[in-house]
Amino acid sequence: MKYKIAVIPGDGIGREVVDEGVKLLKLISKIYGDIDFTLEYFDYGCDYYVKHGVMMEEDGLEKLSQFDAIYLGAVGNNIVSDDISLRGLLLKIRQGFDQYVNLRPIKLLKGVDSIVKNKSQNEINMIFVRENSEGEYIGTGSHMFKGSDRELVIQDSVFTRYGCERIIRYAFEIAKNSNKTLTSISKANALNYSMVFWDNIFNELKEEYPEVETHSYLVDAATIVMLENPEKLEVVVSSNLFGDILTDLGAAIAGGIGLAAGANINPERKYPSMFEPIHGSAPDIAGDNIANPIAAIWSVSQMMDFFGREDIGADILKAIEYLIEEGTHLPRDMGGNAKTGEVGDRLCYHLKNIVKM
Ligand code: NAD
Ligand code: IPM
Ligand code: MN
């Protein structure tokens, strides 16, 4: 099969880690023989904004819609304000392409050192299903009475029955098909409209899935469970903002932000899905070539799964585990001193060997 992939390196370390993911994609085309990628680059991002006054072309979404998948690095820098850069590119793609499922594995790979001690790989193995199209990220609101002492802002938060049902149902399906428990995270004690609505829909859908064991936690208490008893969480479903925050915590639990990957999925495949590390552009280390490319490479594994090539997805994770076990080519955040490119090269070396085996 041949797939067309739009590559958006974006800003900061996004550009550095995407280079390594692209190395892997090129290698995959070469060594598997039955899969091939055409890559086309788009220079959208903060530099593009400085030149053109927009984060992407007016017909950018239309151009991207021609691809099977989008591979993104990260967006944001210290020059363009975040509300412009992220709204104008990352969130525009997620929402414009109705990528309403954000799948983020929180999975401890073999050999990875977790800040949570004495937990096995089996015990830190969650899949977060984050709502990715609405909720707290809807992006509307108002700013009134500027300059007066009555000045106020309202940030809308929109939860539709359609939006809640489809994401919770998606999570139930994963739990059912993988024979895992499903946990819903909410906060109805304070958010008396949105989260009461969310909880009600979760409870309604439970009736349709009697075979799935379910749990519910308030988001504040969920942070404790994640740290103290991560084994209690398997498939987890949450709103957009809670999922954002909890998956950074999850990243820390599973070895660090340099390892955490995410897929933005449009399950109907009406639009392309997008694969990216969950970290940002890391202006503090951008340009130093020390960024960990594993998160970006793990997101290539998710892309392979999405293309129905779970065999390749699993091989990539195996290559990451071999790299960690070997220990000689680890990036700085994992205690080593390998440069970003050296980590990527070594992962290619391991993947090649795995395929030869
Ligand atoms: P960040 O994820 O960029 O960085 C947080 C910390 O983690 C930094 O100390 C950074 O050096 C470190 N880090 C992140 N990724 C790493 C990697 N691969 N290897 C080693 N260290 C890594 O988050 P931030 O500092 O809050 O945000 C920086 C910018 O990125 C902001 O503009 C923010 O809005 C944006 N952002 C973009 C995305 C995205 O495009 N998907 C995601 C998060 C943040
Ligand atoms: C993420 C990021 C984004 C989000 C930001 C940059 C808008 O933090 O992908 O986790 O909040 O979704
Ligand atoms: Mn985030």
Return the HEC string of the chain.
Answer: CEEEEEEEEECCHHHHHHHHHHHHHHHHHHHHCCCEEEEEECCCCHHHHHHHCCCCCCCHHHHHCCCCEEEEEECCCCCCCHHHHHHHHHHHHHHHCCCCEEEEEEECCCCCCCCCCCCCCCCCEEEEEEECCCECCCCCEEEECCCCCCCEEEECCECCHHHHHHHHHHHHHHHHHHCCCEEEEECCCCCCCHHHHHHHHHHHHHHHCCCCCEEEEEHHHHHHHHHHCHHHCCEEEECHHHHHHHHHHHHHHCCCHHHCEEEEECCCCCCCEEEEECCCCCCCCCCCCCCCCHHHHHHHHHHHHHCCCHHHHHHHHHHHHHHHHHCCCCEHHHCCCECHHHHHHHHHHHHHHHHHC
Number of the ligand closest to the Cα of 75: 1
Number of the ligand closest to the Cα of 262: 2
Q: What is the ipTM, given to two decimal places?
A: 0.99
The closest-lying atom of ligand 1 relative to the alpha carbon of residue 284 is 11
In this predicted structure, what is the pLDDT of residue 357? 81
Report, at the CATH architecture level, how domain 1-99+268-357 is classified: 3-Layer(aba) Sandwich (3.40)
What pLDDT, in 10s, does the model give residues 126-140?
A: 999 999 999 999 999
> Across residues 42-57, what is the average pLDDT?
98
In this predicted structure, what is the pLDDT of residue 196? 98
pTM over 0.80: yes
**pLDDT of 293 above 90:** yes
What pLDDT, in 10s, does the model give residues 139-154?
A: 999 999 999 999 999 9
Question: For the domain with range 114-254, which CATH number is right: 3.40.50.360, 3.40.718.10, 1.10.10.10, 2.40.370.10?
Answer: 3.40.718.10
The closest-lying atom of ligand 1 relative to the alpha carbon of residue 279 is 2
Pocket test residue of 82, 84, 91, 299 for ligand 2, highest count of atoms within 8 A of CB: 91
pLDDT category of residue 303 using cuts at 50, 70 and 90: very high
Pocket test residue of 72, 75, 84, 90 for ligand 2, highest count of atoms within 8 A of CB: 90
Within the chain, what is the greatest distance between any pair of CA atoms? Answer: 71
Q: Which amino acid is at 29?
A: S
Number of the ligand closest to the Cα of 73: 1
> Across residues 329-337, what is the average pLDDT?
97
In this predicted structure, what is the pLDDT of residue 54? 98
Pocket test residue of 245, 248, 257, 339 for ligand 1, highest count of atoms within 8 A of CB: 257
Domain layout of the chain by residue ranges: 1-99+268-357, 114-254
Residue ranges lining ligand 2, Cβ < 6 Å: 86, 90-91, 244, 278, 280
Residue 214 has which token pair? Answer: 């379910």
In this predicted structure, what is the pLDDT of residue 14? 98
- Residue whose Cα lies nearest atom 30 of ligand 1: it is 280
The closest-lying atom of ligand 2 relative to the alpha carbon of residue 241 is 11
Q: One fold for both 1-99+268-357 and 114-254?
A: yes
What pLDDT, in 10s, does the model give residues 66-112?
A: 999 999 999 999 999 999 999 999 999 999 999 999 999 999 999 99
What pLDDT, in 10s, does the model give residues 212-263?
A: 999 999 999 999 999 999 999 999 999 999 999 999 999 999 999 999 999 9
